Amino acid sequence: MSAADGTPPNPADLLASPHLAGWLAQQTCEEELERLVYALAEVLDSFDRLFAEVPETGSSVRLIARQLEAALRGAGLERTGRVGELAEPRTHEVVEARSDGDVVVAVLRHGCVFKERVLRPAQVIVGSNLDEVTG
């Protein structure tokens, strides 16, 4: 029996389909890559905290952080959350509002967008103008 004669296909045949097997393998690979990118983005967050806490961190360490960020960007990661940009609900989580307005005046944690999918929003403080910017 086949779908050509009007009967539905056998679910077991569908699950055994090479097309489905290939699709499932690709999905698994993409999910693993996404997990790896997210984990490495957490390493970038650690560099950010280091640079904030120890401003005199050596240039070699800063170079390593820039190389890691460039490699992740090349793989499709976009870090969101920059002072001066407008906060957007899709990519920003506002944790404090200093006044009316939606201008990002401080970034507490960068967000991550990987291949157009938001892995986590940036945590930001917003205000009405950049006069409210904090370090």
Tens digit of each residue's pLDDT (9 = 90 or more) over 45-89: 999 999 999 999 899 999 999 999 999 999 999 999 999 999 999
Positive or negative: CA dihedral 62, 50, 131, 85: positive
The reply to whether CATH 3.40.50.2000 applies to domain 3-132 is no
For the stretch 23-47, pLDDT in tens is 777 777 889 999 999 999 999 999 9
Domain ranges of the chain: 3-132
Q: Which residues contact 111 (CB under 8 A, 6 or more apart)?
A: 79, 80, 81, 91, 92, 93, 118, 119, 120, 121, 122, 123
